[in-house]
Structure 1
């Protein structure tokens, strides 16, 4: 776990830096400098591009992680990477041609009930392509066990650039239209920089050799598109479908609430960058003992950290909304519902990496398709009844069922669960903390209230985790911090 902890800590710091900058953008700059309607439009463009990303990437970013460590010579590794470099074009080029020829028809479908989307539909495709190839080059770097720079580009770079564009908008240097085009341009630039970095680690050579397991690679990458699409559908389809039922400014309210709750998943995202290739290696080497150790430790550590962030958000959410544009308070219930969903995600540890890199991914894909259909169906039912809250209810139910099924399936096939005795102790600590601090409020400015309450929660939660030694890894980190 040494390299995991090392790079995970760096990735967590970088990711939280990115989320901090993103929080300033989402909670203050977008809400103050941009109308609700245009903020909703930008949220819709990015969410729809995220839904399309796994399809355009052809599942290559997952395939690189799974198969790279199975090649033992430099020549076969190179041949594999070159194949992965060009494979997404098999999807991007045909879809681009179809989109160009049937642009008017496709545009009408994307517009939904909001005509403001019409002039920007083509940006969705450009952004989706940028997302797709960025993930390919990021995976290229990760299999070299270099995830930190890519994580910086993924979490920080575009948010800093977006903040600069928003400040330019406020200073009347650019228009709203230029802001929207500029945001797409940022993602294109990010892709180019990530490509240059990936090639600096391992430059592709066109001296190729035949891959013995080519059929397995193609089969996997074709099927893993479904897995990636399922995951993104569950995460992003709600914003896309809201555009078809409610005014687009509601997408902005929903997006802000989701962003607040998504902070809980930052540690999971950070650890996944380095845990995923290690999981693939253990599977390729049939090292079930180390795989189980990694599974349980990643679950426990993520649950402890995610639980702490969950408490900070839920126990401070009323004060936080006092700092935001009053229109956005409609998303308060969404934050609470999705926060619970993200906390449950933390319990899974490296579950996704085990499933996507194992020989059982086909069954998981089938299960994922069924749950994606369930997600869409629940959104169709709940959004007309409950509005933006209905989208949150649909997401929670789908994610809970999906996660439960994945835990069951890993246990059924690998005979291991992510839980330990300490998992129940952490759950009890979270419940006790909610009871102790939920009704404990101060009468100062919201920023002071949030700071005071967060310090108290941190001391209480951290002291118990440390004294009772819930996790050897976290205790070791705290020991180093206390010595310094």
Structure 2
């Protein structure tokens, strides 16, 4: 257990560092060094690759984690590792052959609005393949209790080397066109390094054999492909749709706004790492009352922490877009609000996903997710031609909210669990009142200074009010501990 807690803490720190580097790249460097066109192009290529990645991996990264421990001997485990690495080739090779056969048709479809995409289209399957095998070898490391290295590569390494590449563009060491190819090489390097490290943990002995419980593995794999495809389409599908209706520069505007909004969801990553196994245990032991209590606690705790992050973003967003490098991207302000609200709603559902995926009903919810992806695509087709990137953000807000509501209703009706209390309402009121107080109050200073001052004031007032009204008992206990150590209380 010590290893689990130790690595969870390290992974949490790594995730925050990664987001910090990503913020520097997204807000300060990409817009200035690449420009809207090539920033949009890079984002489009990686988004497309991320969408096809679950198909290339065939869910093996999750299958490996779930079934590895069920193999007893080292020989069985070695055979299973071989299976998870080699089995995806049965789908990857036919998919690539189909892509080559219909290359001209695919090229025309994807580049009819933005001809610049033509020269880089082959990078999409290449990066997708690198992403897929990175995830498989990352899972290889996780089952051997070496998760930190892979997480560092994923969260920090890729963003840090992107920063170095951007500096290279600034000093004319590489061109903006070269940056796109270098990004593809970066994903290949991440896959290669992770693979070699995985092999150093356990040497491979490749042999293609059919493992035991093949039916269970294949059924599970099918639903994981479905789950991964739904999640990635909801995350990146809007950027792909934008390419079909608007010039590619708009993807850059949209990507910056969505990255800012996604910061709201960062607190949930740390909590879910800890809460997921607890949820699984309570459900296995059929402790309904304790599970319901945990559901409420995770909901209000994430609401309070996520509410502070969202508030800090929303009240400062206008000043942020006044900065010279973002001045031409100002249309993204509305996108930040829409995507931010959808992420906030996901937060306040607490450990909703952990509950669902530990029940026998998770397949139903996955099919519901597929339906909502279809709805999201339809909404994008309706709203993008009319409202542009704001239309895409509205389609995403609507589809994610519908999906979250469906999952909430499923848990409430089927499992008789409910996440909200009176504190939920009070937290919403506090967040709304502070937003109205600070949003229209602008300081006549440089944007960075104004953002810093307002953030400090919002944080002090928000934390004080939540503490005073005891919105979250657990957060108050943490604050009491800190105050005692500081000898303030």
Could you tell me the TM-score, scaled by structure 1's length? 0.90
Deviation readout 1:329-379 (Å, 9 max, x if unpaired): 011111111110110111233322333443222211221111011000000
Structure 2 equivalent of residue 379 of structure 1:
380
Structure 1 equivalent of residue 59 of structure 2:
59
Structure 2 equivalent of residue 354 of structure 1:
355
> Does 1:464 find its partner at 2:478?
no
Give the Cα separation in 2 of the matches to 1:267 and 1:140: 26
Structure 1 equivalent of residue 72 of structure 2:
73
* Pair 1:6–1:397, CA change in 2 (3 A): farther
Give the Cα separation in 1 of the matches to 2:418 and 2:471: 17
Paired residues, number: 483
> Does 1:152 find its partner at 2:148?
no
Structure 2 equivalent of residue 50 of structure 1:
50
Which consecutive residues of structure 1, in runs of 5 or more, have no partner in the other structure? none
Question: Which range moves more in the overlay, 401-410 or 285-294?
Answer: 285-294
What is the CA distance between 1:19 and its match in structure 2?
A: 1.6
* 8 Å CA contact 2:299, 2:351 repeated in 1: yes
Deviation readout 1:75-124 (Å, 9 max, x if unpaired): 56555444333332222222122223332222222213111000101111
* 8 Å CA contact 1:4, 1:271 repeated in 2: no
SS of the aligned residue for 2:463 comes to helix
* 8 Å CA contact 1:114, 1:247 repeated in 2: yes
Give the Cα separation in 1 of the matches to 2:169 and 2:130: 24
* 8 Å CA contact 1:62, 1:356 repeated in 2: no
Structure 1 equivalent of residue 394 of structure 2:
393
What is the CA distance between 1:36 and its match in structure 2?
A: 1.4
Deviation readout 1:41-76 (Å, 9 max, x if unpaired): 11110111111112212122333444456x273556
Give the Cα separation in 2 of the matches to 1:460 and 1:37: 41
What is the CA distance between 1:425 and its match in structure 2?
A: 3.3
* Pair 1:423–1:43, CA change in 2 (3 A): same
Give the Cα separation in 2 of the matches to 1:391 and 1:23: 22
Structure 2 equivalent of residue 102 of structure 1:
102
* Pair 1:282–1:193, CA change in 2 (3 A): farther
Q: What are the residue-to-residue correspondences of 1:187-336 with 2, within 5 Å?
A: 187-199=187-199, 213-273=213-273, 275-276=275-276, 279=279, 291-292=291-292, 294-323=294-323, 324-336=325-337
* 8 Å CA contact 2:56, 2:132 repeated in 1: yes
What is the CA distance between 1:391 and its match in structure 2?
A: 0.1
Give the Cα separation in 1 of the matches to 2:93 and 2:290: 42
Give the Cα separation in 1 of the matches to 2:479 and 2:243: 46
Question: Which range moves more in the overlay, 446-455 or 5-14?
Answer: 5-14
* 8 Å CA contact 2:83, 2:211 repeated in 1: no
Give the Cα separation in 1 of the matches to 2:80 and 2:415: 28
* 8 Å CA contact 1:11, 1:271 repeated in 2: no
Question: Which range moves more in the overlay, 173-182 or 277-286?
Answer: 277-286
SS of the aligned residue for 1:106 comes to helix
* 8 Å CA contact 1:66, 1:277 repeated in 2: no
* 8 Å CA contact 1:303, 1:426 repeated in 2: yes
Deviation readout 1:290-337 (Å, 9 max, x if unpaired): 655554443333222211110010000000001133210011111111
Structure 2 equivalent of residue 114 of structure 1:
114
* 8 Å CA contact 2:320, 2:326 repeated in 1: no
Give the Cα separation in 2 of the matches to 1:128 and 1:396: 26
Structure 1 equivalent of residue 453 of structure 2:
452
* 8 Å CA contact 1:65, 1:276 repeated in 2: no
Structure 2 equivalent of residue 402 of structure 1:
403
> Does 1:413 find its partner at 2:414?
yes
Structure 1 equivalent of residue 167 of structure 2:
167
Question: Which range moves more in the overlay, 52-61 or 335-344?
Answer: 52-61
* 8 Å CA contact 1:257, 1:335 repeated in 2: yes
Give the Cα separation in 2 of the matches to 1:140 and 1:349: 29
* 8 Å CA contact 1:145, 1:274 repeated in 2: no
Which consecutive residues of structure 2, in runs of 5 or more, have no partner in the other structure? none
